[in-house]
A = this chain, B = another copy of it.
Amino acid sequence: MSLPRKDLFDLPEGVIYLDGNSLGPLPKSASDAVQRVVQDQWGQQLIRGWNLCGWMDQPSRVGDRVGALIGAEPGSVVMGDTLSIKVFQALAAALQMRPDRRVILSDTGNFPTDLYMAEGLIALKNAGYQLKTVAPEDVADSIDASVAVVMLTEVDYRTGRKHEMSAITRAAHEAGAVMIWDLAHSAGALEVKLKESGCEFAVGCTYKYLNGGPGAPAFIYVRPDLAPDIQPALAGWLGHDAPFAFEPNYRAGLGIERMRVGTPPVLQMAALEAALDAWDGVDMAELRSASVALSDLFIAEVEKRCPMLRLISPRDGARRGSQVSFAFDNGYAAMQAIIDRGVIGDFRAPDVMRFGFTPLYIDETDVLAAADIIEEVMRGDLWDRPEYHQKSRVT
């Protein structure tokens, strides 16, 4: 089956959805699956669902499917919790691996929660750790012998700027540091080659390009040779080697299983598992080139029509994720006006108008239609109406 696969999604009439980088749309299969798990499984099987409906194994089973989309080895990815929690787990484990080093290195383009979770962990450990952030382009040169961990998000959530995963991982390893990649804007968007990169840890969310639904569980990858030695900081019972033996002491489970913590969110897992069906048979290299083509076209069309918008994403598709961002002083209001006309993108403070390209359900026709509407709003100064300046919390 080739791209796009619009018929697999419930897309509202009259909407061009360029925000799949924030929350993917509803796959029809997910809608059916959730109804089934609620009514037939929870409703009819009750507690027996844990055995009879495969709820208990779902985090690993789904983990393997996500793993296949990011170039991970089978048995190296498990689902659960939120991305923030997975960042914490990876970071805590990484610091254990370099007990004599005290610096966590990240960049100023990292998503704030990754940095916040590092701050929280540092305060908790209270042992002289330091979070150092440098400009994205300075990361490789800043990895010295003080750095325990390099923690980066591959694709910048604001600009779409893409790090070179393999090169930076190599630089980290040459300096003796552990590498953690946050794939929030990569999984389902890029051809990720996790195993090839050699990185120790990766984490990500599934409600963006993987279309798992609002609040879908996160994932964590641990390089298979390392998993057996990790003592999980979040030592929950479902990461125990024998959760139902109810032993008084923690014994870490086999391999990646030890990164599980508490009871998995069965309804969210069901939505995600079904949502992944939309990826069956997708060639990630083909998807990536479709995404670059769509975003190249979008940049060309918008720049031609709207000179007041300043591209802040890399112009070179190879250095860009699957989103395109423009800066505009009245970006918040402009985005509201554009959304009001059926093109959904989003806004990120202070002035970023962000558009995501998701070849599963967006094609050239959509891009051209979106450019028409953006042109209408921008050239007509339609954003200047008072109703577009009322701020709400999320756009």
Contact = CB atoms under 8 A, between A and B. Distances in A.
B92 A56 contact: no
A248 B10 contact: no
B215 A268 contact: yes
Contacts of A82: 81, 236, 261-263
Interface stretch (A63-71, A111-119, A168-176, A372-380): A111-119
A236 B84 contact: yes
B85 A271 contact: no
A271 B38 contact: yes
Interface string A98-119: 0000000000100111011101
Contacts of A248: 108, 112, 115, 133
B49 A214 contact: yes
Nearest to A264: B215
Interface string A257-271: 000011111111101
B265 A117 contact: no
A250 B240 CA distance: 32
Contact of A47 (B81, B112, B263, B344): B344
Given A236-B113, A267-B214, A51 B394 contact: yes
A235 interface: yes
A214 B123 contact: no
Contact of A235 (B12, B35, B117): B117
B262 A84 contact: yes
Contacts of A35: 34-35, 38
Contacts of A249: 115-116, 119
B215 A116 contact: no
B126 A125 contact: yes
A189 B249 CA distance: 28
A361 to B, nearest CB: 12
Given A34-B267, A81-B85, A124-B124, A240 B116 contact: yes
B232 A120 contact: yes
Contacts of A237: 84, 111-113, 116
A50 B395 CA distance: 8
B31 A46 contact: no
A159 to B, nearest CB: 13
Given A55-B214, A233-B123, A265-B268, A50 B394 contact: yes
A88 B262 CA distance: 11
A22 interface: yes
Contacts of A123: 231, 233, 235
- The 10 A-B pairs at the shortest CB distance, nearest first, are namely A82-B262, A120-B235, A113-B237, A215-B265, A214-B266, A84-B262, A84-B236, A26-B43, A116-B250, A50-B394
28 contacts: A10-B43, A17-B46, A19-B47, A23-B47, A26-B38, A26-B43, A30-B38, A42-B213, A48-B339, A50-B394, A55-B215, A56-B394, A81-B81, A82-B236, A82-B261, A84-B234, A85-B236, A111-B237, A112-B248, A115-B249, A117-B236, A120-B231, A120-B250, A124-B124, A124-B233, A215-B268, A217-B265, A246-B348
